[in-house]
């Protein structure tokens, strides 16, 4: 085990530029400080200082040790404040997994009921739904939002329910979306540059079926995993894009975007997957309760 007292004296010698100045700063005898540094060198098996004129300088090994000591004691200086903060303002932690295929704008709307929780620490992870379910089973996550429910697997012991089935709206930059394009929607999708979610998204599959039913061949110029990123590129003029109506309120944060048309035939579903611990998490319970009474776009707690 590393002796941190020895490391501290070494750090002070490096910081002050010499044993005598470090001893004066520490109000200790020079011999004591020197002995502590030698003990550290002995435990590490390398010389940390070398003679340099009338003083000493760090060796290459000493420079590495000093850099790490600097990090260690900088963290140590904040320890008391962090402990006090944790003791006086307990953190409410919520870890959520967001599968790659779902709309992040819609996910933000689903999480909105808990975002004003005092002392909330929200941690969001994004990834493939199988990976997130494994993390959930290991209790590394409290909740997973995905485009599909959890498959039956007695080993994982997960449960899921549909939170929302939200219609899709199409938006685009004002430079592309005029009155004629809006009136001729959805046929105008063949004339306009179109942005779509990537192929592994459940919404993309629903859109492809809708295109096929209407005989549409959209002019696709971009594919995105993240709906928020897609809206940024759309706002910069790249094309028009679909977004779950549940997340369309956040689209208003992007200046210059206009409604192209509403697509009642296509819905994006978002499911809540949770483990047993998540069932008792107060913030997870609030998210599920609010979604169950979210009106026509809510899933009303459909078990899967």
DSSP string, 133-176: HHHHHTTS-SEEEESSPPPP-TTT--EEEEEEEEEEEEEEETTT
Domains of the chain listed by start with CATH number: 4-88 (1.10.10.10), 92-304 (3.40.190.290)
158-190 pLDDT, tens digit each? 888 898 899 999 999 999 999 999 999 999 999
Of residues 162, 146, 165, the one with CA closest to residue 295: 165
Distance CA 200, CA 202 (A): 6
Prior bond to 186 cis, omega within 30?
A: yes
Asked if residues 179 and 205 have their Cβ atoms less than 8 Å apart, the reply is no
Distance CA 259, CA 271 (A): 26
Of 44-53, 70-79, 171-180, 208-217, the poorest mean pLDDT is in: 70-79
Q: Which residue has the tokens 């590393």?
A: 2
Return phi, psi of residue 275, to 5°: -100, -175
Tell me the two tokens of residue 142: 């409290």
The per-residue pLDDT for 10 is 95
The per-residue pLDDT for 200 is 78
Q: Is the pTM of this model over 0.75?
A: no
Distance CA 178, CA 112 (A): 32
261-270 pLDDT, tens digit each? 999 999 999 9
The per-residue pLDDT for 154 is 67
Of residues 169, 186, 164, the one with CA closest to residue 234: 169
Distance CA 48, CA 20 (A): 16
The per-residue pLDDT for 302 is 34
Asked if residues 273 and 160 have their Cβ atoms less than 8 Å apart, the reply is yes
- Cα distances from 219 to residues 21, 191, 196, 244, 256, in angstroms, run 72, 7, 10, 20, 21
Is the pLDDT confidence value at 303 over 60?
Answer: no
Q: Which residues, 6 or more positions from 128, have their beta carbon under 8 angstroms from its beta carbon?
A: 99, 100
Return phi, psi of residue 206, to 5°: -65, -40
Sign (positive or negative) of CA dihedral 151, 155, 161, 162: negative
Tell me the two tokens of residue 175: 């430079």
């Amino acid at each position: 085990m590393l002796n941190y007292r020895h490391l501290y004296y070494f750090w002070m010698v490096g910081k002050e530029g010499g044993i005598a100045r470090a001893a004066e700063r520490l109000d200790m005898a020079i011999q004591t400080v020197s002995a502590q540094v030698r003990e550290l060198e002995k435990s590490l098996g390398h010389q940390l200082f070398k003679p340099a004129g009338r003083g000493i300088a760090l060796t290459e090994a000493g420079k590495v040790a000093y850099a790490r000591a600097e990090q260690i004691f900088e963290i140590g200086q904040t320890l008391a404040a962090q402990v006090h903060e944790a003791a006086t303002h307990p953190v409410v932690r919520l870890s959520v997994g967001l599968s790659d295929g779902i709309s992040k704008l819609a996910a933000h709307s689903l999480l909105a009921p808990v975002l004003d929780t005092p002392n909330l620490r929200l941690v969001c992870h994004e990834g493939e739904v199988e990976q997130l379910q494994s993390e959930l089973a290991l209790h590394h996550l409290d909740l997973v939002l995905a485009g599909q429910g959890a498959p039956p697997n007695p080993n994982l012991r997960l449960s899921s329910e549909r939170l929302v089935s939200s219609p899709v709206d199409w938006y685009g930059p004002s430079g592309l979306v005029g009155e004629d394009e809006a009136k001729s929607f959805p046929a105008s999708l063949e004339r306009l540059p179109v942005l779509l979610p990537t192929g592994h998204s459940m919404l993309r599959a629903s859109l492809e079926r809708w295109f096929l039913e209407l005989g549409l061949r959209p002019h696709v110029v971009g594919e995105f995993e993240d709906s928020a990123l897609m809206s940024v590129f759309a706002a910069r003029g790249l094309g028009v894009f679909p977004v779950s109506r549940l997340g369309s309120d956040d689209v208003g944060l992007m200046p210059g975007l206009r409604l192209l048309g509403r697509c009642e035939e296509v819905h994006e579903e978002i499911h809540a997957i949770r483990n047993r611990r998540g069932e008792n998490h107060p913030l997870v319970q609030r998210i599920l309760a609010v979604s169950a009474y979210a009106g026509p776009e809510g899933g009303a707690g459909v078990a899967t």
